[in-house]
Amino acid sequence: MGLRNNCCDCEDLFAGIVAGDAVQVQSVGNTTENGAFSRIVGNVVILDEGTNGEVRICCANIFSVSPQ
């Protein structure tokens, strides 16, 4: 449940969040995605949005992560 300051990576941003947890991810440019946290692959986080499929977000573009 991270908020990017100057030194966060994917692991820091998603600390304490496990696969299946519902999250809201806000990216730079004020884009918000809601879904179930699936996994981190390299520098990309993958959210499962159910029938809408997966959303992949580059961790460098994530501003904040919060549980829902």
- Give the CATH number, domain containing residue 37: 2.30.30.100
Residue 21 lies in a domain: yes
Structural domains in the chain (count) = 1
- pLDDT tens, residue by residue, 14-59: 989 999 999 999 988 889 999 999 999 998 999 998 777 899 999 9
Let me know if residue 44 belongs to a domain: yes
Q: Is there a domain that residue 25 lies in?
A: yes
Cβ atoms of 68 and 26 closer than 8 Å: no
User: Is a pLDDT exceeding 90 seen at residue 2?
Assistant: no
> Whole-angstrom Cα distance, residue 44 to residue 47?
10
What range does the domain containing 21 cover? 10-67
Q: Indicate whether 45 belongs to any domain.
A: yes
pTM higher than 0.75: yes
Does residue 4 sit within a domain? Answer: no
Q: Is residue 3 part of a domain?
A: no
